Chains A and B, each alone.
Chain A
Amino acid sequence: MEIRSPLSGKVLSVKVKVGEAVKKGQVLLIIDAMKMENEIISPSDGTVKSVKVSEGSTVNSGDLLIELD
């Protein structure tokens, strides 16, 4: 499953690592947009297959952030 950015902004922090098991509702990363801190949460249980961004990355709406298995 692909987790894409729903907005444009800057990645403040990435809360998960490759190989980590995540639960539905768990915070995956935080994106700052127009001085608002947005928690992006996991839509389902799974395992982190890849993380495409890091702290400080600038992202646009639709950019791939994380892949879950």
Chain B
Amino acid sequence: MPKTGIGRKILRFKELESTMEAARKYAESEGEGLVILAERQTRGRGRFGRAWHSPEGGVYLSILLKPEVHPSRLSCLTFTAGLATAETVRSLYGVNCKLKWPNDLVYQGRKLAGILLESRIEGERVYHVILGVGFNLNVKVSALPEEVRSNACSIMELTGKGHSKLRFVRVFLKKFDTWYQVFLSKGCKPILEAWSRLSETLGRKVRVEFEDGRTVEGVAESLGEDGSLTLKLPDGSNVKVSPTEILRLR
């Protein structure tokens, strides 16, 4: 593992309630690049405190980041993390996975990974960001709860064999570190360009359901600098959507 940067220090646990909570405990005392890794989580969580089912066989990790950027730039990390995950899967296992806007890693529409980002901000200063990744590496989909089974897949089931977790972690951390340095030095544009090349959303017809009940159908055309999605509607007009206002994208 690297001596500097992302993964310079890795704490491994057999079992944790949640790698996110563990990383939060170290957020003040540790520097950027700390990684918390767990064989399984008993209370793994996704966004809004929803459960992330974390049976043995999956990879569950959180990374402590301390980027010296304005908080308004943090949203790019959503794309940075997705991009690193997708590149890792494609290079290690030859699985033609894609990125669904804004942050799902999917294979033929079924989810391979969950990405969670949380930050702590005072004024215009970012104290820390914690990136969490739950990855279905050697997971038996049948071991997942029924309600998520039809929407999930795993590398073991796609390739017909188990794979080294450590190898996944090593390659993922390296790729994430590379793209993270690009984000810090060059901004989000190169990240969004690379993300777009692996996107399953761009170029296809999508239906967006908004939280207020409205729906819009159009072709997903491009990503804005802030990561928003621009749709071209049948009447030729464009509409820009942000993940915070939508309920679902199909």
Chain A interface (Cβ within 8 Å of chain B)? 6-10, 12, 25, 32-43, 58, 61
Contacts and interface: CB of A to CB of B under 8 A. Distances in A.
Given A33-B74, A34-B102, A8 B226 contact: yes
A9 B117 contact: no
B33 interface: no
B129 to A, nearest CB: 8
A8 B244 CA distance: 10
Interface in B83-140: 102-103, 115, 117-124, 127, 129
Contacts of A25: 122
CB-based closest 9 A-B pairs: A34-B75, A6-B71, A36-B117, A10-B244, A7-B72, A38-B119, A39-B120, A37-B118, A7-B71
B78 interface: yes
A8 B71 CA distance: 10
Interface of B: 47-48, 70-72, 74-75, 77-78, 102-103, 115, 117-124, 127, 129, 226-227, 242-245
A33 B121 contact: no
Contacts of B122: 25, 40-43
Contacts of B103: 35
Nearest to A27: B120
A7 B125 CA distance: 12
Given A6-B124, A41-B121, A41-B122, A34 B243 contact: yes
A39 B119 contact: yes
Contacts of A34: 75, 78, 102, 226-227, 242-244
B121 A35 contact: no
Contacts of B72: 6-8, 61
A10 B212 CA distance: 14
A67 to B, nearest CB: 14
Nearest to B128: A39
